[in-house]
């Protein structure tokens, strides 16, 4: 249970953040997590606020609350004494000052919005602008306003609000203006010729990160970019915890939808400001996310995504308006939400298919989206087959003792130097704070090569090692009752805590890599193909941009038969797909066709699933004690 | 200025109605008119509450407020002393008891909902119900809920609210249910086979009266009827006063829309209750009204209907949903608002064209809607031409000194008996309270026949009369400074006030009849036809059901060349048309086609308008001193 203060309520308390000095005044009894969010900081809550993962640690420098029993068990006495607490365990009952590492605050995480190569497209958006000069009414030509407009533009669908505004708008424009049209649907009638100002926004809604781009829908030019951490992280780091949270009741669903919409709205506002463009001139918003993110975004109860047989609500594209969804752009803007392929193969994967043109390749090709989950699509022999794996968010640093997102202070690359010891690179050259996905892959590959981890995934004891360089062997320790590998000494880190890779962490990586590899193997086998036949393996997702091909192959994230030269990291393909759909009606239609054409395979129904999965749980056999290239 | 009390405000005052005993508790300062409406009584406010028409007289039996200066001028001292006041002049500053004639309360007025002959139609409504049994999802068939439904029903338009409800609805129905479809638009998915319950409502929104019918959309059977006085009457009795009221500001438009919607909603609720049917099973609502009523109903600012060249907002049919409009039926019910022909030739006339099949006749034919205004459509040589006249509401009893609506106590028929004196018939055989439209036409015809009124419209003095029976001649008096004809002595009436037809009243009738006749003549002339060629003259509207053909011809409401046998009273043709549209998509399409095909003629632009109109201002020459048939 979270602590709830019994002290008498006063109206509000002030939460102060150090070093920024930012404050938030919140009502008595506010959950510290929410207070931090109010102050602009999104804590990590992989366990959904249950007090079990320890990822929401904060340093209370003034006004630290009494530690709870859970905290006494999870945090050592010295840390408790200097004010370390878990944000999820406390409700504010007084003013509080918290020292927050900058990396936890939004905007500093390098969230991927770049796509490897900007896909070329004919700019012909679903929403078009047409300038019209109408004859003003006269005695003798008393045609109704709408009839007059339709005689110039063809039949229109006009909602009641716009119909109410139309007579005033036509007269204010002296009957000369620009019609904004979404097919037959009239979005607006603007005075004068406004064809030059025509914007569209594309948003990628990831489980962990949000990325957006504002586009000139006339030229296709990118005007602005924005990124955020997905604020829903505080309800759990994976889709299942969020499904569970949202499925509790309508208020929970509304709440988890609201926090996401609030941040997307901030991103839209921020991009419009950066481009010095009015929000009202954004007439198109495309959104691509995994199935759960899309349902939460749309306010569609995701409970059936959390139950066998994991059925999505819509499947095909959802078209709605900004007003219906609550986006701050033109209220009648066309909102296009990407179609999904299955319960765990979502619109982000369809966006990737669209952006990479995977289906158009002659040789068999694979798209792997290593985001918070691992989704795979195989294109072979004119057919598309997709599957979701249960990879989990290990590659994003979650569920790893000292894992973290790719943010300042994250170790992102690890190698062995001439002296046989580790070389680390951290993002922003900051003091190390933890390990991000690419470093985890490097590290696991390195430990396998040096025989420190065996194929069965066990961290060997120092005395068992035959070939490992002594500096590495010396890093084998026992911590928290389990074997661990010391990545950085306490003295070397930002917060004075040693950074370890524990035995349990190795198991997590083994599971995650094995799940993806097993999925790839099952898809290939069902298509009668082998890994060696693959002409191209496209790895998408924020993670994929930073890992090293050989490390990925070494730990068995991909079948080792794949030629490393055929692996290509394509970056944020979901956002690239959303961008195409924002700029082209044909691409919206293509997205719908791709999703409909793509066969969805529930891996668990494959008769050889269990055997394949069990085999993939073993790290691949491979060369050991070879110095990293 | 209305009186505003300076006494200290208390929370609420009670208004008590006699003899019903009904009460309303209203805030201090409430306008007496609004308080009466709250208590269920709709006072007449032809002047829009300006204190000039005297139609809102009420008898305050307890707590009568001090009379205002306007009241002292307009009401004689004896009446003031016994508590007669004008409701529009007072705001409540204490409890008040008012004696109200039952005829002013809604529901007692015999508002016409009947159509002369029920038009036959194929029942095939725009909204259809289809029963579907879907395969429930399984592992191996994880198609999305919407995709599953679309594979059974074809592509659907589904709004976000329904999409959110769909997964739950499908499962609650065990995937067997009835889809309600408005074309491609999914209205609902109901558990089980509900095809037997499929309702539609048709509403006629007149300036003065509202009439509605609830239909079984499967069989076409009428399940219930409802009528009301249009509550907007308190903002003025004609469309122009309401346009002026609504055009003041957005709040006024919202208010005048709200009172109408509230009453329509009551009618829908009342009809559903009468038919023991749930409101949620009404999936279609059709609405026909004149252009101003339709715009006020839809919340479309009518200001441009009040200015040259009188341009409607929409023209063609408006299709929206019950939720968008705020009707209490199924929120996604299809609302069809009739197309209009011009600023003053509205959807009620289109409904009449649809119900009468006027356009399909071989001989030239005329449809005249004598409602609060007079609209005319001529069908000749395959063409339809429509025009509005400035007839005004005289035939509904407005702007006539002792005119009233066709309600209990209204004199509805007047003749001369063997002794040469008047015979009167009142509605409900109640003591006389005033003259309704048909009696006005009778009386004017009678006065013309006996030479008491000359063709120029002047009430002659008794000494000028040659042939008039002495009992009639004796009824010529001078009242309120003008010649008048005494219809009923003070002792003979319900409220002890004599009922008169004044010189000014005769002028009003002359104008109203002349306006319609001039319009008919201009339409005929432009089509190269004469009144004698008309195969049929259809007179629609509440008024039209009660007048006598020869009286109408005598006073020149219709050109005297028309053969009386060819005149047919068709009753509430607008409601009959709305009913057809509720039962048949083809009729909705026909209504749109009729409105688009009908040429709209602005009479004032006809080069001979002024001459024709001036000529029509004279009553037709005709036989005098002939005893009424």
Lowest mean pLDDT among A11-20, A114-123, B30-39, B345-354: A114-123
The pairing of strands B57-62 and A199-205 is unpaired
pLDDT by residue (tens digit) across A222-233?
999 898 889 998
Question: What's the mean pLDDT in B197-218?
Answer: 94
Inter-axis angle of helices A585-597 and A573-583, nearest 10: 130
* Residues of chain A positioned with their CB less than 8 A from the CB of B159: 320, 324
Are A310 and B142 within 8 A, CB to CB?
yes
| Min Cα–Cα distance to chain A from B377, Å | 17
- Which residue of chain A has the CA closest to B346? A144
* Residues of chain B positioned with their CB less than 8 A from the CB of A139: 308-309, 602, 604-605
* Residues of chain A positioned with their CB less than 8 A from the CB of B182: none
Residue A108 has pLDDT above 70, yes or no: no
Q: How confident is the model at residue B107 (pLDDT cuts 50, 70, 90)?
A: very low
Lowest mean pLDDT among A124-138, B4-18, B230-244, B439-453: B4-18
Residue B111 has pLDDT above 80, yes or no: no
* Residues of chain B positioned with their CB less than 8 A from the CB of A301: 164, 167-168
pLDDT by residue (tens digit) across A563-590?
988 998 888 899 999 999 999 999 999 9
pTM for the full predicted model: 0.83
| Min Cα–Cα distance to chain A from B352, Å | 20
- Dihedral of alpha carbons B555, B557, B562, B568, sign: negative
Residue B510 has pLDDT above 70, yes or no: yes
Q: How confident is the model at residue B540 (pLDDT cuts 50, 70, 90)?
A: confident
pLDDT of amino acid B623:
66
| Min Cα–Cα distance to chain A from B310, Å | 7
Q: How confident is the model at residue A199 (pLDDT cuts 50, 70, 90)?
A: very high
Token digits of residue B405: 């609506």
Nearest to A316 among B146, B325, B342 (CB): B146
Token digits of residue B547: 């007048």
Look at residues A385, A619, A609, A606 and name the one whose alpha carbon lies nearest to residue A518: A609
* Residues of chain A positioned with their CB less than 8 A from the CB of B311: 137, 142-145, 167
Q: State residue B299 phi and psi, 5-degree precision.
A: 75, 25
Dist. CA B226–CA A480, nearest whole Å:
79
The answer to ipTM > 0.90 is: no
Residue A200 has pLDDT above 80, yes or no: yes
pLDDT of amino acid A625:
52
Lowest mean pLDDT among B78-82, B141-145, B425-429, B575-579: B425-429
Are A164 and B299 within 8 A, CB to CB?
yes
Q: State residue A547 phi and psi, 5-degree precision.
A: -75, 160
Token digits of residue A36: 């931090």
Q: Are A595 and A316 in contact (CB under 8 A)?
A: yes
Q: Are B373 and B392 in contact (CB under 8 A)?
A: yes
Give the C-alpha distances (Å, rounded to integers) separating B10 from A550, B36, B60, B92: 85, 19, 21, 11
Residue A266 has pLDDT above 80, yes or no: yes
Question: What's the mean pLDDT in B20-41?
Answer: 78
Q: Which helix H or strand E contains A255, and what residues bound it? A: helix A250-274
Dist. CA B392–CA B412, nearest whole Å:
19
- The 8-class DSSP code of residue A492 comes to G
Q: Is B607 exposed, middle or buried (0-12, 13-18, 19+ CB in 10 A)?
A: exposed
Other beta carbons within 10 angstroms of residue B613's beta carbon come to 22
Question: What's the mean pLDDT in B221-242?
Answer: 89
Say how many CB pairs under 8 Å bridge A and B: 140
Q: State residue B329 phi and psi, 5-degree precision.
A: -85, -165
Dist. CA A291–CA A300, nearest whole Å:
10
- Which residue of chain B has the CA closest to A164? B300
pLDDT of amino acid A623:
66
pLDDT of amino acid B545:
55
Q: How confident is the model at residue B119 (pLDDT cuts 50, 70, 90)?
A: low
* Residues of chain A positioned with their CB less than 8 A from the CB of B137: 309, 311
Are A313 and B164 within 8 A, CB to CB?
yes
pLDDT by residue (tens digit) across B469-484?
899 999 999 988 899 9
Residue B34 has pLDDT above 80, yes or no: no
Residue B310 has pLDDT above 60, yes or no: yes
Dist. CA B246–CA B288, nearest whole Å:
20
Dist. CA A356–CA A340, nearest whole Å:
17
Token digits of residue B401: 């000194």
pLDDT of amino acid A24:
80
Looking at per-residue pLDDT, the higher value among B466 and A139 belongs to A139
Residue B15 has pLDDT above 70, yes or no: yes
3-state class percentages of chain B: helix first, strand second, coil last, to nearest 5: 35, 25, 40
Nearest to B146 among A150, A313, A320 (CB): A313
pLDDT by residue (tens digit) across A419-441?
889 999 888 788 999 998 889 99
Token digits of residue A557: 């994230």
Q: Which helix H or strand E contains B320, and what residues bound it? A: strand B318-321
Look at residues A305, A296, A310, A297 and name the one whose alpha carbon lies nearest to residue A246: A296
pLDDT of amino acid A111:
52
Q: Mean pLDDT highest for which of B64-73, B102-111, B317-326? A: B317-326
Dist. CA A467–CA A626, nearest whole Å:
10
Give the C-alpha distances (Å, rounded to integers) separating B295 from B242, B290, B315, B335, B430: 11, 9, 10, 14, 38
Q: Is B405 exposed, middle or buried (0-12, 13-18, 19+ CB in 10 A)?
A: buried
Average pLDDT value for chain B: 88
Average pLDDT value for chain A: 88
Question: What's the mean pLDDT in A144-150?
Answer: 97
Buried b (16+ CB within 10 A) or exposed e, B195-227: eebbbbbbbbbbbbbbbbbbbbbbebebbbbbb
Residue B51 has pLDDT above 60, yes or no: yes
Q: Are A291 and A347 in contact (CB under 8 A)?
A: yes
pLDDT of amino acid A628:
41
- Show Cβ contacts of residue B327 under 8 Å, excluding neighbours closer than 6 positions: B261, B264, B265, B268, B285, B333, B335
Find the farthest-apart pair of alpha carbons in chain B and give their distance in angstroms, rounded.
102
* Residues of chain B positioned with their CB less than 8 A from the CB of A166: 313
Residue B3 has pLDDT above 50, yes or no: no
pLDDT of amino acid A219:
92
Question: What's the mean pLDDT in A253-270?
Answer: 97
Residue B108 has pLDDT above 60, yes or no: no
Residue A110 has pLDDT above 50, yes or no: no
Q: How confident is the model at residue A475 (pLDDT cuts 50, 70, 90)?
A: very high
pLDDT of amino acid A3:
41
Are B313 and A146 within 8 A, CB to CB?
yes
- Which residue of chain A has the CA closest to B337? A160
pLDDT by residue (tens digit) across B259-295?
999 999 999 999 999 999 999 999 999 999 999 999 9
Q: How confident is the model at residue B463 (pLDDT cuts 50, 70, 90)?
A: confident
Looking at per-residue pLDDT, the higher value among A521 and A543 belongs to A521
- Show Cβ contacts of residue B166 under 8 Å, excluding neighbours closer than 6 positions: A313, B145, B146, B149, B158, B189
Residue A157 has pLDDT above 60, yes or no: yes
Are B140 and A605 within 8 A, CB to CB?
yes
Looking at per-residue pLDDT, the higher value among A74 and B616 belongs to B616
Residue B106 has pLDDT above 50, yes or no: no
Dist. CA B600–CA A147, nearest whole Å:
14
What SS3 state is found at A14? Answer: strand
Question: What's the mean pLDDT in A83-105?
Answer: 79
Dist. CA A388–CA B430, nearest whole Å:
82
Give the C-alpha distances (Å, rounded to integers) separating B229 from A527, A586, B209, B211, B620: 73, 54, 4, 9, 34
Q: Is A494 exposed, middle or buried (0-12, 13-18, 19+ CB in 10 A)?
A: middle
Dist. CA A216–CA A222, nearest whole Å:
6
- Show Cβ contacts of residue B262 under 8 Å, excluding neighbours closer than 6 positions: B231
Residue B178 has pLDDT above 80, yes or no: yes
Residue B466 has pLDDT above 80, yes or no: no
Buried b (16+ CB within 10 A) or exposed e, A193-212: ebeebbbbbbbbbbbbbbbb
pLDDT of amino acid B99:
84
Question: What's the mean pLDDT in B6-24?
Answer: 73
Dist. CA A164–CA A173, nearest whole Å:
15
Q: Are A411 and A436 in contact (CB under 8 A)?
A: yes
Q: How confident is the model at residue B103 (pLDDT cuts 50, 70, 90)?
A: very low
Are B145 and A299 within 8 A, CB to CB?
no
The fraction of chain A above a pLDDT of 70, given in percent, is 91
Q: Are A410 and A404 in contact (CB under 8 A)?
A: yes
Inter-axis angle of helices A503-526 and A609-616, nearest 10: 140
What SS3 state is found at A477? Answer: strand
Q: Which residue has the tokens 């608002």?
A: B337
Written as one string, the DSSP assignment of B61-130 is: EESPPPPPHHHHHHS-HHHHHTTEEEGGG-B-SS-EEEE--GGGSTT-S-----BSSPPP---B-SEEEE
Looking at per-residue pLDDT, the higher value among A475 and B546 belongs to A475
Dist. CA A379–CA B201, nearest whole Å:
54
pLDDT by residue (tens digit) across A337-367?
999 999 999 999 999 999 999 999 899 999 9
The region, left, alpha or beta by phi > 0 then psi within -120 to 50, assigned to residue B398 is beta
Written as one string, the DSSP assignment of B412-480 is: EEEEE-TTSSEEEEEGGGPPB-EE-HHHHHHHHHHHHHTTSB-TT-PBPPGGG-SS--HHHHTTEEEET
pLDDT of amino acid A194:
97
Residue B6 has pLDDT above 60, yes or no: no
Residue A117 has pLDDT above 80, yes or no: no
Token digits of residue A461: 């004891």
Q: Are A366 and A580 in contact (CB under 8 A)?
A: no
- Show Cβ contacts of residue B270 under 8 Å, excluding neighbours closer than 6 positions: B224, B226
Question: What's the mean pLDDT in B357-368?
Answer: 94
Looking at per-residue pLDDT, the higher value among A390 and A257 belongs to A257
pLDDT of amino acid B112:
54
What SS3 state is found at A271? Answer: helix
């Amino acid at each position: 249970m979270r602590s709830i203060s019994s002290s008498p309520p006063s109206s509000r308390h002030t939460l102060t953040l150090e070093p920024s000095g930012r404050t938030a005044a919140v009502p008595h009894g506010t959950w510290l997590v929410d207070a931090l969010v109010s102050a602009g900081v999104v804590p990590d809550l992989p366990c959904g606020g249950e007090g079990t993962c320890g990822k929401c640690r904060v340093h209370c420098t003034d006004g630290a609350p009494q530690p709870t029993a859970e905290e006494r068990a999870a945090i050592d006495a010295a840390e408790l004494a200097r004010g370390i607490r878990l944000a999820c365990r406390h409700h504010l009952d007084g003013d509080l000052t918290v020292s927050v590492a900058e990396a936890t605050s939004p905007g500093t995480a390098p969230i991927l919005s770049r796509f490897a190569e900007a896909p070329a497209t004919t700019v012909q958006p679903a929403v078009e602008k047409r300038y019209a000069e109408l004859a003003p009414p006269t005695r003798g030509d008393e045609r109704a306003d709408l009839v007059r407009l339709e005689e110039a533009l063809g039949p229109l669908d006009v909602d009641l609000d716009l119909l109410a505004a139309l007579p005033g708008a036509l007269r204010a424009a002296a009957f000369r203006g620009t019609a904004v049209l979404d097919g037959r649907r009239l979005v607006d009638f603007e005075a004068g010729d406004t064809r030059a100002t025509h914007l569209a926004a594309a948003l990628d809604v990831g489980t962990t990160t949000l990325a957006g781009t504002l586009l000139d829908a006339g030229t296709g030019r990118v005007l602005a970019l924005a990124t955020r951490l997905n604020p829903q992280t505080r309800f759990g780091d994976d889709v299942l915890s969020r499904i569970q949270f949202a499925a509790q009741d309508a208020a929970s669903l509304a709440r988890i939808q609201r926090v996401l919409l609030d941040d997307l709205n901030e991103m839209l506002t921020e991009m419009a400001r950066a481009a010095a463009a009015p929000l009202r001139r954004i007439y198109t918003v495309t959104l691509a996310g995994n199935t759960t993110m899309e349902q939460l975004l749309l306010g569609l109860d995701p409970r059936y995504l959390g139950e066998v047989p994991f059925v999505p609500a819509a499947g095909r594209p959802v078209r709605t308006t900004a007003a219906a969804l609550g986006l701050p752009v033109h209220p009648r803007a066309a909102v296009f939400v990407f179609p999904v392929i299955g319960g765990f193969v979502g619109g982000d994967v369809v966006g990737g298919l669209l952006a990479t043109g995977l289906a158009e390749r002659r040789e068999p090709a694979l798209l792997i989206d290593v985001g918070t989950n691992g989704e795979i699509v195989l294109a072979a022999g004119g057919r598309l087959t997709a599957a979701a794996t249960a990879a989990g968010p290990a590659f994003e640093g979650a569920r790893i003792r000292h894992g973290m997102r790719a943010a300042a202070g994250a170790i992102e690359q690890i190698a062995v130097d001439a002296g046989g010891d580790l070389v680390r690179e951290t993002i922003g050259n900051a003091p190390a704070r933890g390990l991000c996905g690419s470093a985890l892959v490097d590290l696991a590959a390195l430990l396998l090569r040096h025989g420190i981890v065996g194929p069965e995934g066990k961290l060997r004891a120092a005395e068992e090692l035959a070939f490992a360089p002594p500096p590495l062997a010396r890093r084998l320790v026992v911590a928290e009752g389990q074997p661990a590998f010391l990545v950085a000494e306490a003295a070397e880190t930002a917060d004075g805590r040693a950074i370890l890779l524990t035995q349990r962490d190795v198991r997590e990586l083994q599971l995650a890599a094995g799940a993806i590899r097993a999925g790839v193997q099952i898809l290939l086998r069902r298509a009668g193909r082998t890994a060696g036949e693959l002409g191209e393996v496209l790895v998408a997702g924020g993670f994929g941009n930073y890992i090293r091909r050989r490390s990925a192959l070494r730990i068995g994230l991909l079948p080792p038969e794949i030629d490393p030269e055929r692996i290509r990291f394509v970056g944020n393909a979901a956002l690239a797909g959303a961008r195409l759909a924002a700029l082209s009606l044909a691409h919206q239609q293509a997205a719908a066709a791709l999703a409909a054409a793509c066969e969805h395979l529930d891996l668990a129904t494959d008769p050889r699933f269990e055997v394949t999965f069990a085999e993939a749980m073993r790290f691949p056999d491979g060369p050991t004690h070879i110095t990293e290239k």
